Amino acid sequence: MAPNGQKHDQRRGLMLVLSSPSGAGKSSIARNILERDKNITLSISVTTRPRRASEIDGVHYHFVSEKEFMRLRDSDALAEWAQVHGNFYGTPRDAVEKALAAGRDMLFDIDWQGAAQLREKMAGDLVEVFILPPSMKELHARLKRRAEDSDETIARRLDNARAEIAQWRDYDYVLINEDLNVSYDAVRAIVTAERLRRDRQTGLYGFVEALLAEQLA
């Protein structure tokens, strides 16, 4: 038992929030982290957005009707929710609570509105990273290259990008994503450092007690 009465044998997971305008490379960074770090699980959001051809229901998102989304929202089943680019998105609360209590870290690919809501309720668990594109020209090119969205959708996302970028100040860490490999390493370094925070480590009291009691031969 720690001096403040807090139990230190139960590690609580952290919440790694990645936000950026569409096309800044957030999804690639998220994928890389999830593939290389088996202690982080993706929080799978619910959304009313139509599924893209490359997406799988239950893997990338839980695709739901607007009626179902409102039912979840109104029954307090979402830890946060927002309307982004004309569609609704939200984080199922149950999965998050269970993962954190079991000591698993979670990654959230959510917008600034969602991050702001989590900041209100779960600040101690949050590690927030904002990813900026190197230029608006590059952002536009990346959105077009993705080619999974219509011209109208791309134009709307570019418009929204400016409002989204304006939120960068509220985040703990900010990356300019010029090179994906450099950004991968940076986010992994952030996770490594945040896991080493004294408050997040378990067993330190016992370890140090044993360390100090150790007899030298």
Q: Rule CB under 6 A: say whether 91 interacts with ligand 5GP.
A: yes
When the beta carbons of 13 and 21 are compared against ligand 5GP, the nearer one is 21
Using the rule CB under 6 A, which residue among 109, 126, 128, 133 binds ligand 5GP? 109
Q: Are 131 and 18 in contact (CB under 8 A)?
A: yes
Residues 36-65 that bind ligand 5GP (CB under 6 A): 45, 49
Q: Assess 183 for contact with ligand 5GP (CB under 6 A).
A: no
Does 22 contact ligand 5GP by CB under 6 A? yes
CA distance linking residue 137 with residue 121, whole number of Å: 36
Q: Give the interface segment with ligand 5GP, choosing from 5-13, 103-111, 132-140, 206-214 (CB under 6 A).
A: 103-111
* Residues 130-169 as x/- pattern, contact with ligand 5GP by CB under 6 A: ----------------------------------------
Binding residues for ligand 5GP, total number by CB under 6 A:
15
Nearest CA-CA partner of 172 in 14, 31, 42, 18 = 18
Using the rule CB under 6 A, give the single segment among 9-17, 68-76, 106-114, 170-178 that binds ligand 5GP: 106-114
Bridge partners of 174? 130
Please pick, from the candidates 14, 29, 64, 89, the single residue that binds ligand 5GP as defined by CB under 6 A.
Answer: 89
Q: What is the CA radius of gyration of the chain?
A: 19
CA distances to 19, 23, 45, 99 from 102, in Å: 25, 33, 20, 5
Alpha carbons 92 and 27: distance in angstroms, whole number: 19
Q: Are strands 126-132 and 15-19 parallel, antiparallel or unpaired?
A: parallel
Q: Are strands 126-132 and 173-176 parallel, antiparallel or unpaired?
A: parallel
Positions touching ligand 5GP (CB under 6 A) are 22, 45, 49, 80, 82, 84-85, 89-91, 109-111, 113-114
